[in-house]
Amino acid sequence: MDFDLPGDDHPDRKAVRDWLTEHPQPSGRQLAEAGYVAPHWPAPWGQDADPIQQLVIDDELKRAGVSRPMNPIGIGWAGPTILHAGTQEQKDRYLMPLLAGEEVWCQLFSEPQAGSDLANLGTRAVRDGDEYVINGQKIWTSLAQFSAYGILIARTDPDQPKQQGVSYFICPMDAPGIEIRPIIEMTGGHTFNEVFLTDVRIPAENLVGEENRGWSLAKVTLGNERVSLSSGGALWGMGPTAEDLLDVVRAHGGADDPLLRQRLAQLHIESQLLRLIRLRTVTAAIKGEPPGPEASIRKIMADEHGQHVFELAKDLAGTAGVRDDVGPYGGDPAMWGHGFLFAPALTIGGGTGVVQRNIIGERVLGLPHDVDVEQGLSWAEARRR
């Protein structure tokens, strides 16, 4: 299979370049209405683009210095779930502003006692006429302080098993009863938040899908989250990439040390493997299929790859690597210093590496589920049952 992109004379490239000639500095709304924010989505929100078309659009926008709107949770997670299960009214109301970056979104999933074991959530949603009354607490909510809406899962039937009786909502973040408290990282930044919901009223029309059937939608969101968190830059799709680091090394004459050269070569190999897996996930999206276990495979690889990128960047900085104001070869400290401090979080956020390996073991390799140690079963006994 040929994984090279089409040449400069390809009609898809010409179409994008012609559009950019007419829109040299496009707004987020113009990019969204042209279908260039999420090209693989169906019209009118995308272009039904196949993998090659999507990569060509990405390439041409990058070449022109045009950036898509920054709304990672909205575009990467909330939007695909609404597209998958939302009503037509919900799609018409939320998708275009979301793509245009006009309304930022956050995710209200994790709880203090339900992080990796998300189905153990305790937030309650009780129907009261045409509204649901929400009470509970969420944590590690990225971008909550900037968000207009959040995707929220809450328990609507506590008598059902924990992976049932859960419903999926669109939550206005300015609703009375919502309190947002910042969580300050060791980087000094404020990415994450705690969110407290006290008697928050959400219109029943904000329910996505069926009541008590939200767990399947949460899995769609988590699959898209794992794709989104493992795309682009080494920091969950943001920040520098392995190729950025390699460019810095090349610009300074390369590396003579054979061990450093081997580590640099390994980074390049990892980045190419991730690029090829991305083609598989893009193809699944185009076919209308939700991300499968390959999303977990890619997230494991991408998170560990990101840590490798920043570990090597620190080592390349030499003795200056202990400082927070110097990058490799004197590079931008804002890019590399922050990234090194943030990188340990990569294998925890969005589902830990251990959880992802369990998903792969059970859904890809067909291994048995975890044994209930309280019952004292051996692996052999568990398999016989």
CA torsion, points 92, 98, 101, 105, in degrees to nearest 10? 150
Cα Rg of the chain (Å, integer)? 22
Residue with tokens 């809406």: 149
Cβ-contact 98, 143 below 8 angstroms: no
Please name which of 103, 120, 99, 112 lies closest in space to residue 138, comparing C-alpha atoms. Answer: 112
User: What tokens does 269 get?
Assistant: 């190999």
Please name which of 232, 238, 310, 329 lies closest in space to residue 271, comparing C-alpha atoms. Answer: 232
Cβ-contact 378, 329 below 8 angstroms: no
In the residue annotation, 60 being an active-site residue is answered as no
Cβ-contact 366, 303 below 8 angstroms: no
Q: How many Å apart are CA 63 and CA 61, to the nearest integer?
A: 5
Q: How many Å apart are CA 328 and CA 321, to the nearest integer?
A: 8
Q: How many Å apart are CA 329 and CA 108, to the nearest integer?
A: 40
What distance separates the 2 farthest-apart alpha carbons in the chain? 71
Q: DSSP state, 21?
A: H
Helices assigned H by DSSP within the chain? 11-22, 28-33, 51-63, 72-73, 79-85, 88-99, 214-229, 242-251, 258-286, 294-316, 333-342, 353-363, 379-384
Please report the DSSP string for 109-129 in residue order: --BTTBSSSGGG---EEEEET
CB half-sphere exposure, 322, CA atoms < 13 A: 1
Of these residues, 60, 103, 111, 225, which one is catalytic?
A: 225
CA pseudo-torsion sign 323, 329, 334, 340: negative
The type of residue at 271 is S
In sequence order, the β-bridge partners of residue 126 are: 133
Question: Cβ of 285: how many Cβ atoms within 10 Å?
Answer: 22
Q: Which residues are catalytic?
A: 225
